[in-house]
Protein backbone atom coordinates (compact mmCIF):
# COMPACT_ATOMS: atom_id res chain seq x y z
CA UNK A 1 0.00 0.00 0.00
CA UNK A 2 1.35 3.41 -0.90
CA UNK A 3 1.37 6.67 0.99
CA UNK A 4 -2.05 7.18 2.58
CA UNK A 5 -2.12 10.74 3.92
CA UNK A 6 -1.92 9.73 7.59
CA UNK A 7 -4.00 6.65 6.85
CA UNK A 8 -7.00 8.70 5.69
CA UNK A 9 -7.08 7.58 2.10
CA UNK A 10 -5.20 5.81 -0.66
CA UNK A 11 -5.53 5.66 -4.44
CA UNK A 12 -3.55 2.42 -4.72
CA UNK A 13 -4.73 0.40 -7.72
CA UNK A 14 -6.58 3.36 -9.26
CA UNK A 15 -5.77 4.81 -12.66
CA UNK A 16 -6.18 8.47 -13.49
CA UNK A 17 -6.13 10.77 -16.48
CA UNK A 18 -5.02 14.34 -15.81
CA UNK A 19 -5.49 16.63 -18.80
CA UNK A 20 -2.72 19.19 -19.06
CA UNK A 21 -0.68 17.29 -16.47
CA UNK A 22 2.72 18.42 -17.74
CA UNK A 23 2.92 21.77 -16.02
CA UNK A 24 1.31 24.16 -13.56
CA UNK A 25 -1.61 23.04 -11.42
CA UNK A 26 -2.10 19.86 -13.50
CA UNK A 27 1.45 18.74 -12.78
CA UNK A 28 0.96 19.27 -9.07
CA UNK A 29 -2.32 17.31 -9.19
CA UNK A 30 -0.62 14.45 -11.06
CA UNK A 31 2.15 14.42 -8.44
CA UNK A 32 -0.35 14.29 -5.57
CA UNK A 33 -2.32 11.47 -7.22
CA UNK A 34 0.91 9.53 -7.81
CA UNK A 35 2.03 10.05 -4.20
CA UNK A 36 -1.33 8.74 -3.05
CA UNK A 37 -0.87 5.60 -5.12
CA UNK A 38 -2.55 6.14 -8.50
CA UNK A 39 -1.15 5.25 -11.92
CA UNK A 40 -1.49 7.97 -14.50
CA UNK A 41 -1.93 9.09 -18.06
CA UNK A 42 -1.03 12.76 -18.34
CA UNK A 43 -2.05 14.58 -21.48
CA UNK A 44 -0.56 17.64 -23.11
CA UNK A 45 -1.31 19.75 -26.17
CA UNK A 46 2.18 20.72 -27.35
CA UNK A 47 4.77 20.75 -24.55
CA UNK A 48 5.98 17.15 -24.89
CA UNK A 49 9.30 17.76 -23.11
CA UNK A 50 7.57 19.15 -20.00
CA UNK A 51 5.09 16.27 -20.01
CA UNK A 52 7.93 13.73 -20.34
CA UNK A 53 9.84 15.40 -17.48
CA UNK A 54 6.69 15.29 -15.33
CA UNK A 55 6.20 11.60 -16.20
CA UNK A 56 9.79 10.80 -15.13
CA UNK A 57 9.12 12.51 -11.79
CA UNK A 58 5.89 10.55 -11.30
CA UNK A 59 7.65 7.26 -12.09
CA UNK A 60 10.30 8.15 -9.52
CA UNK A 61 7.45 8.35 -6.99
CA UNK A 62 6.56 4.75 -7.86
CA UNK A 63 3.64 5.42 -10.23
CA UNK A 64 3.24 3.87 -13.64
CA UNK A 65 2.82 6.83 -15.95
CA UNK A 66 2.25 7.44 -19.65
CA UNK A 67 2.07 10.68 -21.55
CA UNK A 68 -0.40 11.28 -24.36
CA UNK A 69 -0.51 14.15 -26.84
CA UNK A 70 -4.20 15.05 -26.91
CA UNK A 71 -5.88 18.34 -27.65
CA UNK A 72 -8.93 18.47 -25.38
CA UNK A 73 -10.87 20.25 -28.13
CA UNK A 74 -10.62 17.14 -30.29
CA UNK A 75 -12.93 14.21 -29.53
CA UNK A 76 -10.66 11.75 -31.39
CA UNK A 77 -7.63 12.80 -29.33
CA UNK A 78 -9.60 12.37 -26.11
CA UNK A 79 -10.81 8.89 -27.12
CA UNK A 80 -7.19 7.94 -27.78
CA UNK A 81 -6.10 9.10 -24.31
CA UNK A 82 -8.91 7.13 -22.69
CA UNK A 83 -8.04 4.01 -24.72
CA UNK A 84 -4.37 4.33 -23.75
CA UNK A 85 -5.38 4.43 -20.09
CA UNK A 86 -7.66 1.40 -20.52
CA UNK A 87 -4.96 -0.55 -22.34
CA UNK A 88 -2.21 0.34 -19.88
CA UNK A 89 -4.13 -0.06 -16.63
CA UNK A 90 -7.39 -1.86 -17.45
CA UNK A 91 -9.63 0.96 -16.18
CA UNK A 92 -10.15 4.71 -16.04
CA UNK A 93 -11.09 5.39 -12.44
CA UNK A 94 -10.30 9.09 -12.12
CA UNK A 95 -10.52 11.95 -14.61
CA UNK A 96 -9.19 15.39 -13.76
CA UNK A 97 -10.32 17.96 -16.33
CA UNK A 98 -7.52 20.44 -15.71
CA UNK A 99 -6.45 21.66 -19.18
CA UNK A 100 -7.38 25.29 -19.58
CA UNK A 101 -6.39 28.61 -21.06
CA UNK A 102 -7.22 32.30 -21.07
CA UNK A 103 -7.38 34.88 -23.85
CA UNK A 104 -8.47 38.05 -22.06
CA UNK A 105 -10.05 41.20 -23.40
CA UNK A 106 -12.88 43.56 -22.55
CA UNK A 107 -16.07 42.33 -24.21
CA UNK A 108 -16.13 45.27 -26.64
CA UNK A 109 -12.79 44.04 -28.01
CA UNK A 110 -13.27 40.30 -27.57
CA UNK A 111 -13.00 38.51 -30.90
CA UNK A 112 -15.12 35.51 -31.86
CA UNK A 113 -11.88 33.51 -32.15
CA UNK A 114 -10.88 34.33 -28.57
CA UNK A 115 -14.39 33.42 -27.37
CA UNK A 116 -14.40 30.10 -29.25
CA UNK A 117 -10.85 29.11 -28.30
CA UNK A 118 -11.43 29.66 -24.57
CA UNK A 119 -14.90 28.06 -24.51
CA UNK A 120 -13.68 25.11 -26.59
CA UNK A 121 -10.65 24.43 -24.42
CA UNK A 122 -12.14 24.91 -20.96
CA UNK A 123 -15.79 23.89 -21.40
CA UNK A 124 -16.01 21.73 -24.53
CA UNK A 125 -12.82 19.92 -23.48
CA UNK A 126 -14.41 19.10 -20.12
CA UNK A 127 -17.56 17.85 -21.89
CA UNK A 128 -15.64 15.66 -24.35
CA UNK A 129 -13.36 14.04 -21.78
CA UNK A 130 -16.16 13.47 -19.29
CA UNK A 131 -18.35 11.86 -21.95
CA UNK A 132 -15.46 9.62 -23.03
CA UNK A 133 -14.83 8.18 -19.54
CA UNK A 134 -18.45 7.63 -18.51
CA UNK A 135 -18.94 4.28 -20.25
CA UNK A 136 -15.90 2.57 -18.67
CA UNK A 137 -16.70 4.13 -15.29
CA UNK A 138 -20.34 2.98 -15.44
CA UNK A 139 -19.11 -0.52 -16.38
CA UNK A 140 -16.90 -0.68 -13.31
CA UNK A 141 -19.51 1.08 -11.12
CA UNK A 142 -16.83 3.40 -9.72
CA UNK A 143 -15.54 6.73 -10.92
CA UNK A 144 -14.29 10.14 -9.85
CA UNK A 145 -14.49 13.17 -12.12
CA UNK A 146 -12.93 16.39 -10.88
CA UNK A 147 -13.29 19.53 -12.98
CA UNK A 148 -10.96 22.46 -12.46
CA UNK A 149 -13.03 25.61 -12.65
CA UNK A 150 -12.04 28.99 -11.17
CA UNK A 151 -13.12 31.37 -8.48
CA UNK A 152 -13.88 33.89 -11.26
CA UNK A 153 -16.46 31.44 -12.63
CA UNK A 154 -18.34 32.18 -9.40
CA UNK A 155 -17.54 35.88 -8.94
CA UNK A 156 -17.11 37.14 -12.54
CA UNK A 157 -14.10 39.17 -13.64
CA UNK A 158 -13.87 42.19 -15.95
CA UNK A 159 -11.85 41.34 -19.04
CA UNK A 160 -12.57 37.61 -18.80
CA UNK A 161 -16.15 37.20 -20.11
CA UNK A 162 -15.10 34.21 -22.21
CA UNK A 163 -13.11 32.49 -19.44
CA UNK A 164 -15.71 33.16 -16.71
CA UNK A 165 -18.52 31.92 -18.98
CA UNK A 166 -16.56 28.70 -19.55
CA UNK A 167 -15.71 28.25 -15.87
CA UNK A 168 -19.29 29.03 -14.72
CA UNK A 169 -20.45 26.57 -17.38
CA UNK A 170 -18.20 23.92 -15.84
CA UNK A 171 -19.95 24.39 -12.48
CA UNK A 172 -23.41 23.81 -14.02
CA UNK A 173 -22.07 20.91 -16.08
CA UNK A 174 -20.57 19.37 -12.92
CA UNK A 175 -23.92 19.46 -11.11
CA UNK A 176 -25.91 18.06 -14.05
CA UNK A 177 -23.55 15.16 -14.73
CA UNK A 178 -23.32 14.46 -10.98
CA UNK A 179 -27.11 13.99 -10.96
CA UNK A 180 -27.00 11.75 -14.04
CA UNK A 181 -24.45 9.32 -12.60
CA UNK A 182 -25.02 9.56 -8.83
CA UNK A 183 -26.58 6.10 -8.66
CA UNK A 184 -23.64 4.50 -10.52
CA UNK A 185 -20.88 4.94 -7.95
CA UNK A 186 -19.50 7.93 -9.84
CA UNK A 187 -19.00 11.34 -8.25
CA UNK A 188 -18.49 14.57 -10.17
CA UNK A 189 -17.10 17.60 -8.37
CA UNK A 190 -15.35 20.85 -9.21
CA UNK A 191 -12.41 22.61 -7.61
CA UNK A 192 -12.20 26.39 -7.98
CA UNK A 193 -8.69 27.74 -7.41
CA UNK A 194 -8.16 31.40 -6.64
CA UNK A 195 -5.04 33.10 -7.96
CA UNK A 196 -2.05 30.77 -8.43
CA UNK A 197 1.22 31.85 -10.03
CA UNK A 198 1.69 29.63 -13.10
CA UNK A 199 2.31 30.24 -16.81
CA UNK A 200 -1.41 31.07 -17.07
CA UNK A 201 -1.12 34.08 -14.77
CA UNK A 202 2.52 34.99 -15.51
CA UNK A 203 1.48 37.38 -18.29
CA UNK A 204 -0.45 39.71 -15.98
CA UNK A 205 1.15 43.08 -15.24
CA UNK A 206 2.74 43.41 -11.78
CA UNK A 207 0.20 46.11 -10.96
CA UNK A 208 -2.72 43.76 -11.75
CA UNK A 209 -1.14 41.01 -9.64
CA UNK A 210 -0.73 43.38 -6.69
CA UNK A 211 -4.37 44.53 -6.99
CA UNK A 212 -5.51 40.90 -6.90
CA UNK A 213 -3.23 40.09 -3.95
CA UNK A 214 -4.71 43.00 -2.07
CA UNK A 215 -8.21 41.57 -2.53
CA UNK A 216 -7.23 38.13 -1.21
CA UNK A 217 -8.14 37.94 2.50
CA UNK A 218 -4.99 35.84 3.16
CA UNK A 219 -2.91 38.49 1.34
CA UNK A 220 -0.94 35.98 -0.69
CA UNK A 221 -1.25 33.93 -3.88
CA UNK A 222 -2.02 30.23 -3.77
CA UNK A 223 0.58 27.56 -4.51
CA UNK A 224 -0.08 24.71 -6.93
CA UNK A 225 0.48 22.24 -4.07
CA UNK A 226 -2.35 23.90 -2.15
CA UNK A 227 -4.81 22.97 -4.91
CA UNK A 228 -3.79 19.35 -5.46
CA UNK A 229 -4.56 17.74 -2.04
CA UNK A 230 -8.31 18.44 -2.31
CA UNK A 231 -8.30 16.87 -5.77
CA UNK A 232 -6.67 13.70 -4.41
CA UNK A 233 -9.20 13.63 -1.57
CA UNK A 234 -12.17 14.02 -3.94
CA UNK A 235 -10.69 11.19 -6.04
CA UNK A 236 -10.63 8.83 -3.09
CA UNK A 237 -13.11 6.48 -1.39
CA UNK A 238 -13.13 8.88 1.55
CA UNK A 239 -15.12 11.35 -0.60
CA UNK A 240 -17.69 8.77 -1.79
CA UNK A 241 -20.67 10.77 -0.45
CA UNK A 242 -19.65 14.13 -1.94
CA UNK A 243 -20.97 14.95 -5.41
CA UNK A 244 -21.99 17.97 -7.48
CA UNK A 245 -19.96 20.32 -5.28
CA UNK A 246 -17.57 23.13 -6.08
CA UNK A 247 -14.77 23.57 -3.56
CA UNK A 248 -13.16 27.01 -3.54
CA UNK A 249 -9.44 26.94 -2.76
CA UNK A 250 -8.70 30.62 -2.86
CA UNK A 251 -7.48 32.11 0.42
CA UNK A 252 -10.99 33.52 0.88
CA UNK A 253 -11.00 35.48 -2.42
CA UNK A 254 -14.55 34.52 -3.41
CA UNK A 255 -15.90 36.13 -0.22
CA UNK A 256 -14.07 39.43 -0.69
P1 LIG B 1 -0.93 26.53 -17.28
O2 LIG B 1 -1.05 27.52 -18.38
O3 LIG B 1 0.26 26.53 -16.42
O4 LIG B 1 -1.11 25.05 -17.89
C5 LIG B 1 -2.16 24.79 -18.78
C6 LIG B 1 -2.17 23.31 -19.09
O7 LIG B 1 -3.29 23.04 -19.93
C8 LIG B 1 -0.93 22.87 -19.85
O9 LIG B 1 -0.56 21.59 -19.40
C10 LIG B 1 -1.41 22.81 -21.29
O11 LIG B 1 -0.73 21.85 -22.10
C12 LIG B 1 -2.84 22.38 -21.10
N13 LIG B 1 -3.67 22.76 -22.25
C14 LIG B 1 -4.04 23.99 -22.64
N15 LIG B 1 -4.81 23.93 -23.73
C16 LIG B 1 -4.94 22.61 -24.03
C17 LIG B 1 -5.61 21.90 -25.05
N18 LIG B 1 -6.33 22.51 -26.01
N19 LIG B 1 -5.53 20.54 -25.03
C20 LIG B 1 -4.82 19.91 -24.08
N21 LIG B 1 -4.17 20.53 -23.09
C22 LIG B 1 -4.22 21.86 -23.08
O23 LIG B 1 -2.28 26.73 -16.43
P24 LIG B 1 -2.61 26.47 -14.88
O25 LIG B 1 -1.84 25.32 -14.38
O26 LIG B 1 -2.54 27.76 -14.17
O27 LIG B 1 -4.14 26.10 -14.99
C28 LIG B 1 -4.64 24.78 -14.88
C29 LIG B 1 -6.14 24.86 -14.69
O30 LIG B 1 -6.44 25.63 -13.53
C31 LIG B 1 -6.86 25.56 -15.86
O32 LIG B 1 -8.10 24.95 -16.08
C33 LIG B 1 -7.07 26.96 -15.31
O34 LIG B 1 -8.15 27.61 -15.94
C35 LIG B 1 -7.34 26.67 -13.85
N36 LIG B 1 -7.14 27.79 -12.95
C37 LIG B 1 -5.90 28.39 -12.82
C38 LIG B 1 -5.73 29.45 -11.96
C39 LIG B 1 -4.43 30.15 -11.77
O40 LIG B 1 -4.42 31.17 -11.05
N41 LIG B 1 -3.33 29.69 -12.33
C42 LIG B 1 -6.87 29.95 -11.15
C43 LIG B 1 -8.10 29.24 -11.37
C44 LIG B 1 -8.21 28.21 -12.22
P45 LIG B 1 0.69 22.22 -22.84
O46 LIG B 1 1.72 22.26 -21.74
O47 LIG B 1 0.92 21.14 -23.82
O48 LIG B 1 0.46 23.56 -23.47
pLDDT tens-digit map of 29-77? 999 999 999 999 999 999 999 999 999 999 999 999 999 999 999 999 9
For the residues 189-193, what does the mean pLDDT come to?
98
The pLDDT, as a whole number, for residue 6 is: 54
Q: Does pLDDT of 2 surpass 70?
A: no
pLDDT band at 99, cuts 50/70/90?
A: very high
Q: Which residues contact 242 (CB under 8 A, 6 or more apart)?
A: 187, 189, 234
List the single range of 53-67, 177-191, 203-217 with lowest mean pLDDT.
203-217
The pick from 20, 70, 76, 103 for probing ligand 1's pocket by mutation, whose C-beta has the most ligand atoms within 8 angstroms, reads 20
Q: What is the pTM of this model?
A: 0.97
Q: Phi/psi at 104 (nearest 5 deg)?
A: -85, 145
3-state secondary structure of 9: coil
Contact 47, 71 (CB under 8 A): no
The pick from 22, 43, 45 for probing ligand 1's pocket by mutation, whose C-beta has the most ligand atoms within 8 angstroms, reads 45
Decide whether any atom of ligand 1 lies within 6 Å of the 68 Cβ. no
Contact 142, 93 (CB under 8 A): yes
User: Does residue 221 carry a catalytic annotation?
Assistant: no
Amino acid sequence: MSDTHNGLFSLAGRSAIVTGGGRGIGRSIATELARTGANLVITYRENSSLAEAAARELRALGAACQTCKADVRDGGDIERAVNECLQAFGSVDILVNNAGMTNDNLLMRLSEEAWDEVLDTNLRGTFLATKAVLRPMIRSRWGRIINITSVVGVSGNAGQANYTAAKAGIIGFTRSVALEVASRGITVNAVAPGFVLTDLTAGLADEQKETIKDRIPMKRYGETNEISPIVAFLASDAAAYITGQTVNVDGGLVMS
